[in-house]
A and B are shown apart, each in its own frame.
Chain A
Amino acid sequence: MLIMTPLGLLPAARARAQGAPLTVLSRAEGEILDALGETLLPGAAAAGITNYVDAQLAKDLPFLIYRYLDVPIPAADFYRGGLAALDAYSEATHGSAFADLSSSEKTTVVGGMAGGKPEGWEGPPAGLVYFVVRADAVDVVYGTEAGFERLGLPYLEHIAPPERW
């Protein structure tokens, strides 16, 4: 999964490992997205969820699942709003930013998001943020040829995904 970054074309995972700068999201937003992705599906951060989402948001026609959901807000605003809401909610309920919570606190917060409407959450609906970022995490971990291999599924492509995503 090669994505365009300010350091050039890189696999999403390597872009993250090399600390490639983000183009749409801020560094702070990237950190929250990494922490949320990792809580939703361990391995998503290392697989490059943040660089993948950021590279998609920079495109005219992002391939993100967000496209299906009839949400009349530009995708970048949705992600920014959702990540800010998550941080604010974590501060209010646990006294620190989401990325700094312990893993069991993160699980509690994300479990609340999965349930739909955590009290005091302000921003794009928590359930929708959960749904969208969870889908992104599954995309980068399992939606690729490497992901199928991990599951022992033959990919059987008609046309293989281009190197560059």
Chain B
Amino acid sequence: MARFQDEEYGRTGAGTPGAAPVPGVTPGVGASPAAEVTGASPAASPGASPAAASAGEKVDAVIVGCGASGSLLAAKLATAGKSVVILEAGPNLGLKDMVSSQIWSRRWRWNGAETENGGAVGAGFNNGWGGGGSASHHYAVWLRLHEEDFEVTSRFGVGNDWPFSYADLRPYYDRIQEEVGISGDAEAEVWRPEGDPYPMPPLRSLGQGRAIARGFAAIGVRTAPTPVAINSVAYKGRSPCVYDGWCDAGCPIGALANPLVTYLPVATKAGTEIRFDCTATQILTDRTGARAVGVRYVDGDGAERVQEAAVVIVAAFAIQTPRLLLLSANERHPDGLANSSGLVGAYITAHPFQSVYALFDDETDVAFGVSGGNVLSQDDYAKDPDKGYLASWQWTGGSSVKPNDLIGVAMARVDLFGDALHAFIADASKHLTNMAWVGENRAMVDNRITLSKTTDRLGLPIAKLTHEFHEDDLKALEAGMEQGQAAMRAGGAREVWLSGRATQHIMGGAIMGTDPANSVTDAYGVTHDVGNLVVSGTPLFPTSGAVNPTFTVHALALRQAEHLIEEWGAIAR
């Protein structure tokens, strides 16, 4: 029984004080056949194992990961006439698989290599899996980062500046918002940075949203309808939302903008080939190490293959992206690919998150509405050192909750069991209200992904995640919890309590920047060290801000796609 000691259980155990992070790779990686592929064409690599079969023609771009960013890049590149292959570790799940059930919804969660996880960041929960990545069943709360989020170092001397400003990204937010569709009320969002008004009116507010808005108003805090990439009215041929609250299990009618109804159909129509059940295991470079030549992967039958490409794009989310770069160490890149800065894996951020729960006498329609909720407050978003901490935060409230699952009604009181649990579920299924506090996580270099000593089923080191919050993050959380409980009480709640602390969203691990010494990629996600190797998605975020990241992921990917197409000759060479 010795192996069942707490430290093996990271998340719920007593807490494993993770060993000091070691930039670079374990010795085992250098010994893999991959390390020898710094020369000839990868298909003829002189590895110790039999050479991987070539997976067909060299293409213009191979994209690792079929999630939010990978789908958008594929759509834009393929539409511009590039040949594109996407390698996706997960299965070919489609709209027909979006079964309305919290039990069935678990098919959409990451089922690849585990993560050695010593902190509170839910790797298995946050990672995508299959077509659309985690965006296939995300809640579509789409918010813009604020101007100050791009400039935390120059304004406040903390974290990392982004390599461009809000003004540079704004046109991409505006265009994505029009392409995809967002429902909201821009005027009511008094905190919103400049931008075009939303193309659709906000969603309707149900019982929970009304109770929360009433409570906040009573304590003088402003609210607005939550802007969501969900149709309040028919938009571009996609149906409006019917408020059944099943978004977490996937929205098969296409009211919610998941990649299966937005960019993937465009990508495949323009000729993109998606290879499901294909796990990328290494990015291969030429002999000089300056150019990527393709991606080695293991297909659904366990066969090792190589896809050659002029441009390699890694869009595998914030844990697997740095892991893949570290696994791709070779003679020219002994500490991991594109890692001359030593920062591959560094600056992992995850939004601290805690819920305030309340029971009201009135019915709150808690099982219905949308999973992302319908009321927002960013009254305390502005970063102000005079508050005693430097961190932004916001509320997203009124999310639909079904009886079971990790975010189910029953989990609102984990302490209850037996008849008391039955009684609680019966009451709370009609009267519960919940709102989520989402805060900024200070970017810190020691919060990072390294390679673990444990290996996955392919024999490759799994990712090891080391993460702690900054004390300011936690002070902000404390202030939020006080405000949230006061609002619920002022709104007339008969009982108010807090959930445990958790996280939402994972970012960083291959951050953008202007200087190769303190970032992994340039402002377009092109790695400083390998001129045709590109990173996309949340790993690029130099800081987290306190807003849900997927609108920004889309805006960034659009900006990247246009840059790649414009500069194709120089980048693809």
Taking chain B's interface residues, is the majority helix, strand, or loop, or is none over half, making it mixed?
Answer: loop
CB under 8 Å from chain B, chain A span 31-56: 39-43
Kindly specify which of B116-124, B220-228, B542-550 makes contact with the partner chain.
B116-124
* Number of A residues, CB within 8 Å of B: 52
Q: Report A-chain residues with C-beta under 8 Å of the C-beta of B124.
A: 67-70
Q: How far is the CA of A61 from the CA of B124 in the complex (A)?
A: 13
Q: Report A-chain residues with C-beta under 8 Å of the C-beta of B246.
A: 156-158
Q: Which of A61, A114, A148 contacts B403 (CB 8 A)?
A: A148
Whether B55 is near chain A, meaning CB under 8 Å from some CB there, is: no
Q: How far is the CA of A63 from the CA of B12 in the complex (A)?
A: 20
CB distance from A136 to the nearest CB of B (A): 9
Q: Report A-chain residues with C-beta under 8 Å of the C-beta of B403.
A: 138, 142-143, 147-148, 151, 153
The reply to whether B4 and A81 contact each other, CB–CB distance below 8 Å, is yes
The reply to whether B404 and A143 contact each other, CB–CB distance below 8 Å, is yes
With contact pairs A70-B123, A122-B1 given, residues A160 and B100 touching in the complex (Cβ less than 8 Å) = yes
Whether A14 is near chain B, meaning CB under 8 Å from some CB there, is: no
The reply to whether B419 and A71 contact each other, CB–CB distance below 8 Å, is no
- 1/0 per residue, CB under 8 A from A, across B83-124: the answer is 000000000000010111111101101010011110000111
Closest 9 CB pairs of A and B: A143-B404, A157-B100, A156-B244, A142-B403, A70-B117, A138-B410, A161-B101, A128-B12, A138-B404
The reply to whether B417 and A39 contact each other, CB–CB distance below 8 Å, is yes
Instruction: Give the interface of A toward B (CB within 8 A).
Output: 39-43, 61, 63-65, 67-73, 81, 85, 107, 110-111, 114, 117, 122-125, 127-128, 130-131, 134-135, 138-139, 142-144, 147-148, 151-153, 155-162, 165
Q: Report B-chain residues with C-beta under 8 Å of the C-beta of A148.
A: 403
Q: Which residue of B lies closest to A73 (CB)?
A: B8
Whether B405 is near chain A, meaning CB under 8 Å from some CB there, is: yes
Q: Report B-chain residues with C-beta under 8 Å of the C-beta of A147.
A: 403-404
Instruction: Give the interface of B toward A (CB within 8 A).
Output: 1, 3-4, 6, 8-14, 96, 98-104, 106-107, 109, 111, 114-117, 122-125, 242, 244-246, 251-253, 367-368, 402-406, 408, 410-411, 414-415, 417-419, 421-422, 425-426, 429-430, 454, 462
The reply to whether A125 and B6 contact each other, CB–CB distance below 8 Å, is yes
CB distance from B1 to the nearest CB of A (A): 6
Q: Which residue of A lies closest to B454 (CB)?
A: A72
With contact pairs A41-B421, A151-B426 given, residues A65 and B253 touching in the complex (Cβ less than 8 Å) = no
The reply to whether B425 and A142 contact each other, CB–CB distance below 8 Å, is yes
Q: How far is the CA of A158 from the CA of B4 in the complex (A)?
A: 41
Q: Report A-chain residues with C-beta under 8 Å of the C-beta of B421.
A: 40-41, 134, 138
With contact pairs A142-B404, A159-B99 given, residues A68 and B114 touching in the complex (Cβ less than 8 Å) = no
